[in-house]
């Protein structure tokens, strides 16, 4: 049996999306900027995708920018916004548990002379609104907070953050990295007071190499790359028609029936956590336990982070791999570097927790049978490998 539980790293592309992209590549392969019929045909796909995304987010079509993925969306949002709003100030607030696409961009901006504050999180990976209030300044130009944490699945109080930020200074921009959250939660920028929102295609069953940045119509922003002036000059470069059409369809598919799907995934999560926690050395990260039950409603429906104390996550990961089960150790994006998980560390977890943490992340393709198989395998291999620990 093959069980893919690494959907926070990347997802399988929807067959319908593959079909559409394949048709565009083979038949409607024109450049949307061309004036002839091939170009016009291609442009239709971009218009359609823009409509689909705008409808899903309940925003205007002109507020949608297509990018190469989450990292570019984050870079454009942060660099483009602070550059265009120098008058507001040069202070940035973000959190300690952001994805490197945010953390390293903010670090770059610090090198350029901006000041930055990084908010702490509690043991469940959630920021404190009080701390946010205390860090806000009149010259805060941008606040960037992720919607869903990629390592433990904690959710940040987006609407509340927005209210606090805007009450402090209406000119301060609020960016949300929704790469992990979009498609697994209801996200409506206008309703939630979000000025800039990043989405990645390959986390929602579209291909790699395409992403979205929502830019509220009143937001002043500058492009970060220059060229032929495509997408109203905000992102030059030949428009990625197949990718854009693909992400448009994927957005439409993943947001239809979203509520029911979130309920289904949360039930699976609750089941998995309650079962996995019965294994001797297992300890669930990022989820409250009340009266013997894990409270999953205030966490992401699809991400589960569990430490198997005394084991090494890589060993367990490869042992699972041998049984056809694919998971991540901590955050897939940083698993090649030796440094410990920044989210778990920020949550105050000790080395044994960080060394042994595995992330299981589900998608719409995940079934209960698959989880049962994973649980069976864990029940078998965890006690076995627990016998061999470093002396």
Q: Which residues bind another protein (CB under 8 A)?
A: 312, 314-322, 336, 338, 385, 387-391
Bridging pattern class, strands 293-295 and 288-290: antiparallel
Q: Enumerate the β-bridge partners of residue 6.
A: 361
Residues 124 and 307: their CA atoms lie apart, in Å, by 14
Q: Which of 262, 281, 333, 364 is an active site residue?
A: 333
Residues 50 and 60: their CA atoms lie apart, in Å, by 9
- Choice between 22 and 389, CB closer to another protein: 389
- 262 flagged as catalytic: no
- Choice between 87 and 391, CB closer to another protein: 391
**Minimum distance from residue 338 beta carbon to another protein (Å):** 8
Residue 247 burial (10 A CB sphere; 0-12, 13-18, 19+): buried
- Choice between 259 and 391, CB closer to another protein: 391
Q: Enumerate the β-bridge partners of residue 329.
A: 358
- Choice between 262 and 316, CB closer to another protein: 316
116: helix, coil or strand? Answer: strand
Residues 76 and 70: their CA atoms lie apart, in Å, by 10
Q: Which of 93, 98, 201 is closest to 150 using CA atoms?
A: 98
196: helix, coil or strand? Answer: strand
Q: Which of 180, 197, 205 is closest to 303 using CA atoms?
A: 180
- Choice between 97 and 381, CB closer to another protein: 381
Active-site residue list: 333
């Amino acid at each position: 049996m093959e069980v893919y539980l690494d959907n926070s790293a990347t997802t399988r592309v929807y067959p319908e999306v593959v079909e559409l992209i394949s048709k565009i590549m083979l038949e409607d392969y024109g450049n949307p900027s061309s004036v002839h019929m091939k170009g016009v045909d291609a442009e239709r796909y971009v218009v359609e995708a823009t409509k689909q995304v705008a409808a899903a987010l309940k925003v205007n079509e002109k507020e949608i920018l297509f990018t190469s993925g989450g990292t570019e969306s984050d870079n454009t949002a942060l660099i483009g916004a602070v550059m265009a709003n120098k008058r507001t100030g040069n202070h940035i607030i973000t959190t300690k548990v952001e994805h490197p696409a945010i953390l390293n961009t903010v670090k770059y901006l610090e090198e350029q002379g901006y000041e930055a504050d990084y908010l702490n999180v509690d043991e469940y990976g959630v920021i404190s609104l009080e701390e946010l209030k205390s860090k806000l300044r009149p010259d805060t130009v941008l606040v960037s907070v992720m919607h869903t944490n990629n390592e433990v699945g904690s959710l940040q109080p987006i609407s509340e953050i927005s209210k606090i930020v805007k009450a402090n200074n209406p000119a301060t921009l609020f960016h949300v990295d929704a790469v992990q959250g979009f498609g697994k939660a209801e996200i409506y920028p206008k309703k939630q007071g979000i000025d800039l929102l990043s989405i990645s295609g390959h986390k929602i069953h579209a291909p790699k190499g395409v992403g979205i940045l929502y830019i509220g119509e009143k937001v002043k922003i500058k492009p970060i790359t220059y060229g032929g002036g495509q997408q109203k000059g905000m992102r030059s470069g030949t428009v990625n028609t197949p990718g854009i059409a693909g992400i448009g369809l994927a957005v439409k598919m993943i947001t239809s029936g979203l509520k029911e799907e979130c309920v289904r995934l949360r039930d699976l999560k609750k089941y998995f956590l309650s079962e996995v926690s019965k294994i001797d050395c297992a300890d669930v990260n990022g989820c409250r336990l009340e009266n013997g039950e894990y409270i999953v409603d205030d966490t992401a429906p699809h991400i589960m982070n569990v430490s198997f104390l005394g084991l090494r996550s890589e060993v367990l990961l490869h042992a699972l791999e041998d049984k056809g089960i694919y998971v991540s150790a901590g955050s897939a994006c940083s698993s090649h570097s030796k440094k410990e998980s920044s989210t778990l560390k920020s949550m105050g977890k000790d080395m044994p927790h960080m060394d042994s943490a595995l992330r299981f992340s589900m998608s719409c393709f995940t079934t209960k049978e698959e989880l049962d198989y994973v649980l069976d395998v864990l029940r078998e291999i965890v006690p076995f490998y627990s016998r061999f620990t470093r002396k």
